[in-house]
Amino acid sequence: MKKVLFGLVKWSFFVGGLATWIYFLSLQEHPNPPKSNLPEMMTYEVKKRSFAVNVETTGELEAAQSTLIASAVRGDLGKIIYLIADGTSVPANKLLVKLDATPFEETIEDLEQQVKEQESKILGLKHKLAWDISAAEHDQKMATLEEDTAHLEIKKIIEGDGPLEKARLQGLVQKAAIKYEEMQGYANDLESLEQQGFLNPSEKRQAEKKLNEEKEAYENARMQYESYVNHVLPMQIMKAEAALKRARSTAEEAARSTAYNIQTTQFTLAQAEQQLTHLHESLENARKELKHTEILSPYEGMVVHREDFRQGQRRKPRVGDNVLKNQPIMDLPDLNSMLVKTRIREIDLHKVSIGKQATISIDSYPNLFFSGKVHAIGVLALTDITKMGDEKYFDVTIALDKNDSRLRPGMTAHVTIHSDQIDNALTIPIYALFEMEKQHYCYLSSEDEYLCHPISVGKANQQWVEILDGLKENDVICLSEPPSYTKTEEPL
C-alpha cells in the first residue's frame, strides 16, 4: 500500500512536517491502550475543525510595465562611452546610455559634402538640358527654313523661272523660224529670177549664205529649246527636289540628334536626382542614428542592467563595450505597479483561478506582507528541467493591490494563494491518509486490531484533509501504517 499524502507535499517537506505534526498531535493524542499482540501506534481522535486551503509557492517580483533598452544603431558601431549606474532611479528623459557619436558625425559630414556636390552636378545638368532644348528649337527652325526654301525653289522652277525660260526660248525658235521661212521665200524668188535670167550670181551667193545662216540660227534655237524642255528644266527640278529631300533629311537627323541629346541629359539628370534622393535618405538615417547615440528614459523607473553575452562571457554592460543593434543593454521597470511571477504544480491548478486573493511576503522584509490577486494563469504546462521527475507546472502572475517604494524587481516573493476555507468539517491529519488502487484509506484502531478502512475525502491543505464519508467524530485512527491490519468494507 502506497502513501501519497494526497499529492500535496514533497518528501523533504513530508519528513519535517511529519516530525512537527507528530509532536503536535502527541499533545492531543495518546498511545492506544495495549492490545494483545498488537504493537503500540501513535493515534489521532477524529474531530471537527476549520482550516484554510492554500497554495504556497515562491516567485520573483517584476514590474507590471518594463521597457527593454537596446541600441538602435546599425551593426556594431555603438560603443558605450557613458552608462548610468545599475539600480539608479531615474525620471523621464534622463540620459541612460551615450554611444560614441564620432563615426556618425563623420558620416554626416561626408554625406553633406556629397549632397552639395550632387546638387551642383544637378544644377549643371539642368543648364545643359535648357541649352539642349534651346539648340534643338533653333536647329528645328533652321531645318524648317531650309525645307521651306527648297519648296520655294521647286515652285520657282516649275511655276516661275522654268515657264519663263521656256517661253523665251520658244520665242527665239519662233523668231528664227520666221526669219528662216522669210529667207527661204526670198531664195525661192531668187531661183525664179535666175531661171528667167535676171539674177546676179553674186546676189545669189549672198542669198544662199544668208539662208544657211538663218537655217543654222533656227536649228540652234530649236535645239536650245528642246534641250531646255527635255533636259535642263527636268534636271533643275530634280536638283531642287534633291535639295528638298536633303533639307528634310537634315531636319530629321537634327531632330533625332537633338532628341537623343535631350533624352541623354534628362536620363542623366534623373539619375543624379535619384542619387541625391538616396543621399538625402542616407543623411536623414545618419542623423537619426546620431540621435540614437543618446538613449533617454521614456518614463520614471529604475535602471536594471541586463546580462548578455559580451566579448565571450555573460555579464552586464560596461563603458567601452560595443553593442549590436537591438542587443539588450538594460531594463527600465516602472516601479509604480508590481507583479509576482511564480508557478504552481499541475496538481494544484484546480485550486487556483483568476481573482483569487493572495498574500505575499518578501525575503528582504520578513515582517512586511502585501495583498494581491491572481492576475493571469499560463495556458501551457511546463517542465522544470532542473528537477528530477516529470512533474508539470503552470505560470501564475499575482498583481499586488498596493505599491511600496521598497519593492524592487528580482526580489524573492513567497506567495500564499487563498483557494478555499473549510469550516467545521470532520478532518484528519494529511499524514493519516493512505491510498491504494485509487481508493483512499485510513487505519482505524479497534479493540484488538487495526482496520484498513476506506474513506471518501474532500478538500485538503498541507496539514488537514476533509472527510466526507467513512469516519465519524471521535473515531481513533493511526498516524502511520501499522505492521499488520485487517481490511474492512468494500471501497466507497
DSSP result, 84-146: PPTT-EE-TT-EEEEE--HHHHHHHHHHHHHHHHHHHHHHHHHHHHHHHHHHHHHHHHHHHHH
Task: Classify strands 89-90 and 301-302 as parallel, antiparallel or unpaired.
Answer: antiparallel
Residue 478 has pLDDT above 80, yes or no: yes
Contact by Cβ (8 Å): 25, 428? no
Place of cell 546620431: 290
Q: What is the rounded distance in angstroms from the CA atom of residue 463 to the CA atom of residue 490?
A: 27
Task: Determine the pLDDT at residue 193.
Answer: 66
Cα–Cα distance list, 420 to 50, 174, 294 (Å)? 11, 145, 52
pLDDT band at 196 (very low <50, low <70, confident <90, very high): low
Task: Classify strands 43-45 and 486-487 as parallel, antiparallel or unpaired.
Answer: unpaired
Task: Determine the pLDDT at residue 468.
Answer: 95
Task: Report the amino acid identity of residue 269.
Answer: L
CB atoms within 10 A of CB 177: 15
Residue 148 has pLDDT above 80, yes or no: yes
Contact by Cβ (8 Å): 46, 472? yes
Phi/psi of residue 205, each to 5°?
-65, -40
Ordered structural domains, the chain, with CATH: 5-64+335-487 (2.40.30.170), 106-289 (1.10.287)
- 49 CB-side CA count, 13 A: 16
Task: Determine the pLDDT at residue 36.
Answer: 52
For residue 216, give the nearest of 191, 183, 192 by alpha carbon: 183
Full-model pTM: 0.53
Helix or strand run (H / E) with residue 443:
strand 439-445
33 or 73: which carries more pLDDT confidence? Answer: 73
- 363 CB-side CA count, 13 A: 9
Cα–Cα distance list, 221 to 153, 158, 181 (Å)? 27, 22, 14
Task: Determine the pLDDT at residue 385.
Answer: 76
Residue spans of alpha helices (H) in 156-197: 162-196
DSSP state of 356: -
Question: Which region among 27-36, 236-245, 325-334 has the lowest average model confidence (pLDDT)?
Answer: 27-36
Name 59's bridge partners: 413
For residue 255, give the nearest of 152, 141, 126 by alpha carbon: 141
Residue 205 has pLDDT above 80, yes or no: no
Task: Determine the pLDDT at residue 490.
Answer: 56
Task: Classify strands 78-83 and 322-323 as parallel, antiparallel or unpaired.
Answer: antiparallel
Task: Determine the pLDDT at residue 197.
Answer: 62
pLDDT band at 166 (very low <50, low <70, confident <90, very high): confident
Cα–Cα distance list, 359 to 391, 407, 439 (Å)? 25, 15, 34
Helix 201-227 / helix 162-196 crossing angle, nearest 10 deg: 160
Residue 374 has pLDDT above 90, yes or no: yes
